[in-house]
Amino acid sequence: MTTATNTPEDQGFRLSQLIYDTRYRSITIQVIAMLAFMLIAAFLIRNTIINLSALGKDIDFGFLFNRAAYDINQQIIPYTSDDPHWRATLVGLLNTLLIAVLGCILATIIGVIAGVLRLSKNWLTARIMTFYVESFRNIPVLLWILAFMAVLSEALPAPRAFRGDDPAASMWLWDSVAVTNRGTYIPAPVWGDGSVFVVITFLLSLLGIWAFGKFSQRRFEATGQILPNFWIKLAIFFVPSILVYFVMGRPITLSYPELKGFNFGGGLHMRNSMLALWLALSFYTGSFIAEIVRSGILAISKGQTEAAFALGLRPSRTMNLVILPQALRVIIPPLISQYLNLTKNSSLALAVGYMDLRSTLGGTTLNTTGRELECMLLMMAIYLVVSLLISSGMNVYNKSVRLKER
Amino acid sequence: MSNTNSLSYVRKEMLEQQPAPRSQVGFTRWVRENLFSGWFNSILTIVSIFVIYKILAGTLPWLFGGVWDATSLDQCRTILNERFGNTHYACWAVLTERWNQLLYGFYPESQYWRANLAFVLMLASLAPVLFDKVPRKMLYLTMAFPFLMVWLVWGGPIWGVTSVAVGFLLGGVAFKVVDRYGSMALSAIAAVAVAVIWWLFIGPSVVEGLNAVAPIGHLEEVQSRDLGGFMICVIIGISGIALSLPIGIVLALGRQSDLFIVKTICVGFIEFIRGVPLITLLFTASLLLNYFLPPGTTFDLTLRVIIMVTLFSSAYMAEVIRGGLAALPKGQYEAADALGLDYWKAQRLIIMPQALKISIPGIVNTFIGLFKDTTLVMFIGIYDMLGLSNAIRANAAWNGIYWELFIFIGGVFWICCFAMSQYSQWLERKLRTDHR
């Protein structure tokens, strides 16, 4: 009893305690790690400085304000070759974001449909979806991008096939969409006088839908009565905007693509590079999302459905109130990383010549200014910020649907 | 209550067993249940059959009516015109004509045996890692394989790679020796010190001497730029896979660690790598690495790519393994502590075996992703299969040939990746020890 509790004689601090005593060892390890990290960083920075000075270069981001002097074939904001490099970078970044947003939307739609159909009782449909998922998941996305590009540029009719009295090709959807090997032309909206009111009304009605949802929820909690939410929301979505549209004298019109000479004019021109990248990324990521959705649905035990039925819930309410909230919790985190992957994979635009961030800042700007270090650092920083923004934004949503535990 | 006599009829004998109704057995029942169980299901079935018919009718004649023997696309088309009157058929001749190029890139033709031997050795050294029924003795081959591969593929005298291997060997011996007297950290330091001293100071002069005295095993040297095709995919893929797992484990442990500085460094590294596309890292490897290294250092491009691909997938690997570590019940950590195991013993004996088992699917998915990402090297001037397909198309003889090459390349990747995912499922089933 006495010997066990006796503390060892205090011999003061010995050097060996730095390694053997757990109280001090962690400090030793951290100091060593810090020193090693700083040594490596110093080594790299010193090398960079020496190499740069040997080449007569410096680190200077001033080139961003010089004239870019190259054209970008797809611009969301106005841009000419007289604009500075930073604006070219911005145009590229917007193109990257455009493909990322479009891709995420389409990939989610494809993925959810494929994932649900893969679980379908229909044997044939389930097999087809398995085939789709396995073939897209196991083949590099770069190959898919090149393959989609080859389909679009080789298998589609040239614009001149649309000419003549008996054309070899014809436009789709009542002569409004022209699918050619130079890109797809779709009707573009033309914003006339007063169209701003229609847009404002539309945005207000979105706000109205949100407010109505809140109101309906509160009413339900107070009285227990359920309003026909879906139909009312649908009405709020369409009716005010359409009313204002007609009151203002139909200010928004569509410009249809038309064959002019050897090419199409008018309408919105979607380049093949963009379409190929968009479709390939969506189908590729869609196959991963399909698996995520499938595993999410399978993760909810059958007892949940049966319990909901036993409580007398209709199948649609079972889905909305019982299955989906639980499945989403499983689905959201891997879905976020798929969205991130899609955004990062959009840098493969290089393969088809889509002018994204990598092609403007990391491509033409880098080559014409010769500032590899600055361009690469800036490009990595932008990608990093975009990734972090997406993941933090989705994490907020994830938190809101997470299981509330005590 | 009820009286049998009051009933008009009571069956006294058993009925003969009847066969089930036609619609409830065999194929008919299966079709009814799986294909036409309701109106929605029936529509799905009909749509599916239509889709399958369309796809097969479009591709099967194209696939099987193809030409296997021609030297250019024009010749292919001439043959097809003679045979069918149109050219809506595949021209597989591009594969037969460019077969070697697709597999080996620009590797010298007289040296193909080396690539083949390396590939066979790779399969042999993978066998004991993948299947535990294979004799354990073969693990020695696995350990020797990296050096053999470098020697076989790049050529040159045998002593250079031998010296590198000897460095590892001496390090291992030093570890064993010091481990008998000191702690884990000390022996690790000793091992690294001995190996580095050998590599930097003793090894080079020994290699020089041996090259002069005994110039045996000298293979014709092959430059990195001559590697290509499927071969470069396998080299980069297998090196990345082998290296990214241990680095990923270390990073995951660092991220889970209580040590603030270690944790910060690991988190920063992982988040940085995961936040940028692989292609920017590859461009860094090809454009910027010369800035970061001492002046005058030349660095083999293939090696740079392997390093970058490894770093990239080790960050993903770290996240996968972190998931496995987090999924482990806290009691396992506490039990290891209660047994008096130190950190490394606890990790090696208790935590890692379970955490790695949980994360097998994620680990293999990362491997598959890495293998698919090897196609990206096409952008920095390495001729992998996709790069070669562009090069082949640039040749006048094969200008305009897409699908045959894409289908071949896709098929190769599909087989490799599908095999990996099947293996991971098999391994998961084999290692499942919980109660069912």
- CA of B389 vs chain A CAs: smallest distance (Å): 11
Which residues of A fall within a CB distance of 8 Å from B34?
A: 121-124
pLDDT of residue B272: 92
pLDDT of residue A30: 86
Which residues of B fall within a CB distance of 8 Å from A135?
A: 414
pLDDT of residue A74: 80
Instruction: Compute the mean pLDDT over every residue in chain A, rounded to the nearest whole number.
Output: 84
For B251-268, letters b (16+ CB in 10 Å) and e give bbbbbbbebebbbbbbee
DSSP letter for each residue of A213-280: HHHHHHHHHHH-----HHHHHHHHHHHHHHHHHHHTT--EEEEPPEEETTEEESSEEE-HHHHHHHHH
Cβ within 8 Å, pair B48-A124: yes
Backbone angles phi, psi at B135, to 5 degrees: -50, 135
Which residues of A fall within a CB distance of 8 Å from B272?
A: 384
Structure tokens at A31: 């100091």
Mean pLDDT comparison of A72-86, A198-212, A238-252, B1-15, highest-scoring range:
A198-212
Mean pLDDT comparison of A105-109, A268-272, A358-362, B181-185, highest-scoring range:
A105-109
**Chain A within 8 Å of B287 (Cβ-Cβ)?**
yes
**pLDDT confidence tier of residue A7, bands split at 50, 70 and 90:** low
Put simply, whether the predicted model's pTM sits higher than 0.80 gets the answer yes
The whole-number average pLDDT for the span A10-31 is 76
Cβ within 8 Å, pair A376-B368: no
**Chain A within 8 Å of B406 (Cβ-Cβ)?**
yes
Backbone angles phi, psi at A186, to 5 degrees: -120, 160
Interface test with B, best of A18, A49, A117, A142 (most B CBs within 10 A): A142
Structure tokens at B60: 């099967």
Q: Which of the residues in chain B have pLDDT under 70?
A: 1-7, 182-185, 434-436
**Across the interface, which of A26, A30, A140 has its CB nearest the CB of B413?**
A140
For B301-312, letters b (16+ CB in 10 Å) and e give bbebbbbbbbbb
Beta bridge partners of A180: A183
- CA of A264 vs chain B CAs: smallest distance (Å): 25
CB B273 within 8 A of CB B258: no
Which residues of B fall within a CB distance of 8 Å from A99?
A: none
Q: What DSSP state is assigned to residue A254? A: E
**Across the interface, which of A117, A123, A387 has its CB nearest the CB of B35?**
A123
| Spatial separation of the C-alpha atoms in residues A332 and A321, rounded to whole Å | 17
**Amino acid (one-letter) located at A391:** S
**Chain A within 8 Å of B283 (Cβ-Cβ)?**
yes
Cβ within 8 Å, pair A383-B277: yes
pLDDT of residue A17: 74
- Provide CB contacts within 8 A for A403, sequence distance 6+: A329
| Spatial separation of the C-alpha atoms in residues B88 and B90, rounded to whole Å | 7
The answer on pLDDT for A348 being more than 70 is yes
- B195-219, pLDDT tens digit by residue? 888 888 888 888 888 877 777 777 8
**pLDDT confidence tier of residue A105, bands split at 50, 70 and 90:** very high
Which helix H or strand E contains A178, and what residues bound it? strand A178-180
| Spatial separation of the C-alpha atoms in residues A309 and B220, rounded to whole Å | 74
The answer on pLDDT for A3 being more than 70 is no
Integer angstrom CA distances of residue B409 from A140, A147, B298, B364, B388 = 10, 11, 32, 21, 10
Q: Complex ipTM, two decimals?
A: 0.87
Q: What DSSP state is assigned to residue B181? A: H
pLDDT of residue B62: 86
Dihedral sign computed on CA atoms, order A195, A201, A203, A206: negative
Q: How far is CA A105 from the centre of its chain?
A: 7
Cβ within 8 Å, pair A47-B292: yes
The answer on pLDDT for A5 being more than 60 is no
Which residues of B fall within a CB distance of 8 Å from A348?
A: 279, 376
Domains along chain B with CATH numbers:
27-60 (no CATH), 65-104 (no CATH), 157-218 (no CATH), 226-431 (1.10.3720.10)
Cβ within 8 Å, pair A54-B295: yes
**Across the interface, which of B262, B280, B372 has its CB nearest the CB of A29?**
B262
Longest dimension (CA), chain A: 110
DSSP letter for each residue of B347-361: IIIIIHHHHHHHTHH
- Tokens 């036993």 belong to residue: A310
CB B161 within 8 A of CB B151: yes
Cβ within 8 Å, pair B34-A20: no
pLDDT of residue A385: 93
> Using alpha carbons only, how large is chain A's radius of gyration in Å?
29
| Spatial separation of the C-alpha atoms in residues B239 and B237, rounded to whole Å | 6
pLDDT of residue A77: 84
- CA of A267 vs chain B CAs: smallest distance (Å): 31
For A279-306, letters b (16+ CB in 10 Å) and e give bbbbbbbbbbbbbbbbebbeebeeeebe
Mean pLDDT comparison of A53-67, A121-135, A391-405, B60-74, highest-scoring range:
A121-135
- CA of A85 vs chain B CAs: smallest distance (Å): 19
Mean pLDDT comparison of A4-13, A315-324, B310-319, highest-scoring range:
B310-319
**pLDDT confidence tier of residue A220, bands split at 50, 70 and 90:** confident
- Provide CB contacts within 8 A for B190, sequence distance 6+: B174, B175, B177, B178, B182
The answer on pLDDT for A2 being more than 50 is no
**Chain A within 8 Å of B410 (Cβ-Cβ)?**
yes
**Across the interface, which of A128, A135, A379 has its CB nearest the CB of B414?**
A135
| Spatial separation of the C-alpha atoms in residues B236 and B377, rounded to whole Å | 10
Which residues of B fall within a CB distance of 8 Å from A384?
A: 272, 275-276
